[in-house]
Amino acid sequence: MAAAPRPDLLDRLAVQTAIRDGAQLLRRLRTIEHADGPWLETGGRRLLSFCSNDYLGLAQHPQLIAALKRVADDEGVGSTSAHLICGHRAEHAALEEALAAWTGRERALLFSTGYMANLGVLQALLARGDLCVQDKLNHACLLDGAQLAGAALKRYPHADVAAAARQLAGNGEAGALLATDGVFSMDGDSAPLRELAALCAHQGATFMVDDAHGLGVLGERGAGSVSAAGLAQREVPVLMATLGKALGCAGAFVAGPAVLIDGLVQFARPYVYTTAMPPALAAAALAAVRLAQAEDWRRQKLALLIARFRHGAAQLGLALSASTSAIQPLLLGDARAALDAARALEQQGLLVTAIRPPTVPAGRARLRLTLSAAHEESHVDRLLGALENLRLPAAGG
């Protein structure tokens, strides 16, 4: 019998892209020509942005820029190799120490991106036959990490601690890790960290929190959602967060006991086999950590802007979510409605991204609005005015 002809992989990919386009789900790149705080220039227009993750307004801070320039002048651009060869510089070591102290952990280890940090942790900790229990709304890289590690992945309904308990109890002999976002990236609400920590202690499971959206924003001196929940290293031995959100840089770290960090250096492949981040970037991130710790006014200003937005949106009858964080989603349901709303806002000079499946579940498309200490009250008012003009469906309507 003649073998069936091989599929052409590029043709198949083109068909998948066309299907996505037909479903109004095509993703498009937009080139930003210039950034000036929350103002972004694109296509020759200047738009007020509500979609960056620069929650504390640090991405263009003069102290970060100065640190980056100083170390670039002295050390150049590239780290020139992986950490374990000759890429681990004094700037990396100083940043790791500061991050460990800030989060109240014994040690910290830098990764080049948050995506790689989560792949690395899960792949180093989990083996085939282990159990990995996760919130359904966790960030994509936590889900990918568990799958890559070959663990049995169970996903519980969002924030449902009882369901997580059932999933853990169902396989009492296997090594088990429970992982959750601290603040959920597309919904902005916080995980029930204390209840999950108690569950993990009871079930002998290792607890991991991805605090990409909590670090810098929540907790005393911005130490994050784990610190805000009063949980120490003993209760949350695996803490991950990124440097690309509230800290305005790029990269990520994992913090925890020495046994974790030593093991990651040995076994986390996305750590071992990748080029260390540029030392100048590590220096900029250290400047950001210092500012995030010291400048409480940024968190206070952000909180005021969030309250102003929520108050105004409630007066307009908009369907707000339970989030009190800088991430304020407006659920619109279908992908078309979210796209139309984003386009209408752009016509009014605002940049807001429509978030559609598969990033969020089908029927849960939304505008993901984010606020920043770089915004002013007048910016929030302008956003509210533009939303009023859209005549979105009212809450419960």
Ligand X SMILES: *Cc1c(COP(=O)(O)O)cnc(C)c1O
Q: Rule CB under 6 A: say whether 350 interacts with ligand X.
A: no
Antiparallel, parallel or unpaired: β 176-181 and 131-135? parallel
Report how far residue 341's alpha carbon sits from residue 367's, in angstroms, rounded to the nearest whole number: 8
Binding region for ligand X (CB under 6 A) out of 113-121, 342-350, 358-366, 369-377: 113-121
Q: At what angle do helices 90-103 and 279-294 cross, to 10 degrees?
A: 30
Q: Which amino acid is at 113?
A: T
Q: Rule CB under 6 A: say whether 225 interacts with ligand X.
A: no
Q: Rule CB under 6 A: say whether 181 interacts with ligand X.
A: yes
Longest dimension (CA), the chain: 74
Residue with tokens 């705080």: 37
Q: Rule CB under 6 A: say whether 115 interacts with ligand X.
A: yes
The only residue of 38, 216, 244, 279 in contact with ligand X, by rule CB under 6 A? 244
Q: Choose between 53 and 203: whose C-beta lies nearer to ligand X.
A: 53
The only residue of 107, 139, 308, 368 in contact with ligand X, by rule CB under 6 A? 139
Q: Choose between 283 and 285: whose C-beta lies nearer to ligand X.
A: 285
- Minimum separation from the CB atom of position 16 to ligand X (A): 24
Q: Choose between 213 and 379: whose C-beta lies nearer to ligand X.
A: 213
Q: Rule CB under 6 A: say whether 242 interacts with ligand X.
A: yes
Q: Choose between 203 and 328: whose C-beta lies nearer to ligand X.
A: 328
Q: Choose between 242 and 274: whose C-beta lies nearer to ligand X.
A: 242
Q: Rule CB under 6 A: say whether 141 interacts with ligand X.
A: yes
- Minimum separation from the CB atom of position 142 to ligand X (A): 7
- For 243-336, strand residue ranges (E) read 252-256, 327-333
| Sequence-separated (6 or more) residues with CB below 8 Å from residue 391 | none
Q: Choose between 121 and 260: whose C-beta lies nearer to ligand X.
A: 121
- List residues with catalytic annotation: 185, 213, 245
Q: Rule CB under 6 A: say whether 252 interacts with ligand X.
A: yes
Q: Choose between 318 and 354: whose C-beta lies nearer to ligand X.
A: 354
DSSP SS3 for 186: coil
Q: Rule CB under 6 A: say whether 96 interacts with ligand X.
A: no
- Minimum separation from the CB atom of position 386 to ligand X (A): 26
Q: Rule CB under 6 A: say whether 55 interacts with ligand X.
A: no
Antiparallel, parallel or unpaired: β 206-210 and 176-181? parallel
Binding region for ligand X (CB under 6 A) out of 84-92, 93-101, 107-115, 198-206: 107-115
- Minimum separation from the CB atom of position 233 to ligand X (A): 20
Q: Kindly state the number of chain residues that form the binding site for ligand X, as judged by CB under 6 A.
A: 14
Binding region for ligand X (CB under 6 A) out of 207-215, 254-262, 289-297, 383-391: 207-215
Report how far residue 217's alpha carbon sits from residue 211's, in angstroms, rounded to the nearest whole number: 10
- Rg of the chain's alpha carbons, rounded to an integer? 22
Q: Measured between alpha carbons, how far apart are the two ends of the chain, in Å?
A: 61
For 130-154, the DSSP string reads: -EEEEETTS-HHHHHHHHHHT-EEE
| Sequence-separated (6 or more) residues with CB below 8 Å from residue 221 | 102, 292, 293, 294, 296
Q: Rule CB under 6 A: say whether 212 interacts with ligand X.
A: yes
Question: Which residues from 118-137 bind ligand X, rule CB under 6 A?
Answer: 118
Q: Rule CB under 6 A: say whether 278 interacts with ligand X.
A: no
Residue 287 φ then ψ, to 5°: -60, -40
Q: Rule CB under 6 A: say whether 113 interacts with ligand X.
A: yes
For residue 180, what are the β-bridge partners? Answer: 209
CA 91, chain centre distance (Å): 24
Distances (CA, A) of 365 to 96, 155, 190, 344, 360: 38, 20, 20, 16, 7
- Minimum separation from the CB atom of position 115 to ligand X (A): 4
Q: Choose between 138 and 233: whose C-beta lies nearer to ligand X.
A: 138
Q: Percent helix, strand, coil in the chain (nearest 5)?
A: 45, 20, 40
Q: List interacting residues with ligand X (CB under 6 A).
A: 113-115, 118, 139, 141, 181, 185, 210, 212-213, 242, 244, 252
